[in-house]
Amino acid sequence: MRLGFLVLMLLVSPLIHATVYKWVDQDGKIHFSDQPVKNAEVVEFNKNTENQIKLPPPPSPSNGHLSPTGDKINYRMRIASPNEEETVRSNEGNISIALQIEPELAPSHLLVLFMDGKQQSDAQQSGLFQVNNVDRGEHTFIIKALTQDGKLLASTLPRKIFLHRTIQNRAR
């Protein structure tokens, strides 16, 4: 069955490729046809005569520019310091967190620091955060970029940090 179909297609394919003829009538009008006419010449089609439609590339929303709403920017954020699972030694319980963000934060956007799932700072423009009097032990930090109305634009991956804080024993 398949072999018969293949043979049929090979026999019919030359017939499908029709020849186009061009001729000019007594009034000077140019005509085209698939049937030969007296004084008609065969038209040869070049590769450049084929119709080709090129569509413009679709707009990319992830190119870091403003979206149609003007709020959405594709921020790439990461906590630059301290490093993952770094031990911070501070008897006062102070931890400094530095953010690396690209592109630069828009004036209408804000940054908020979260420690162990709880907000630790007021919204701010600076990527430097200071948390004081933190209990010793393991803590997870995340920084979020937000719009003025609180919509999330971007977030860092969680960063686990250990705080080593000496406790002084007091004699009674």
User: pTM of the predicted model, to two decimals?
Assistant: 0.57
Distance CA 150, CA 165 (A): 34
Amino acid at 116: D
Considering the four listed CATH numbers 3.40.50.2000, 3.40.50.2300, 2.40.280.10, 2.60.40.10, the one that applies to the domain covering 76-164 is 2.60.40.10
Q: What is the pLDDT of residue 12?
A: 60
Confidence band of 171 (pLDDT split at 50, 70, 90): low
Q: CB of 112 within 8 A of CB of 144?
A: yes
Mean pLDDT calculated for residue range 118-135:
93
Strands 21-24 and 30-33 come out as antiparallel
The answer, yes or no, to whether residue 168 has pLDDT greater than 90, is no
Q: What percent of the chain has pLDDT over 90?
A: 49
Taking only the tens place, the pLDDT of each residue in 59-104 is: 655 444 444 445 568 899 999 999 999 999 999 999 999 999 999 9
Distance CA 108, CA 63 (A): 19
Task: Give me 5's structure tokens.
Answer: 């179909």
Q: Domain-by-domain residue ranges, the chain?
A: 2-49, 76-164
Task: Give me 22's structure tokens.
Answer: 């061009």
Residues 6+ apart with CB under 8 A from 107: 125
Q: What is the pLDDT of residue 86?
A: 93
Mean pLDDT calculated for residue range 100-125:
93
Least confident residue range of 21-30, 135-144, 149-158: 21-30
Q: What is the pLDDT of residue 4?
A: 75
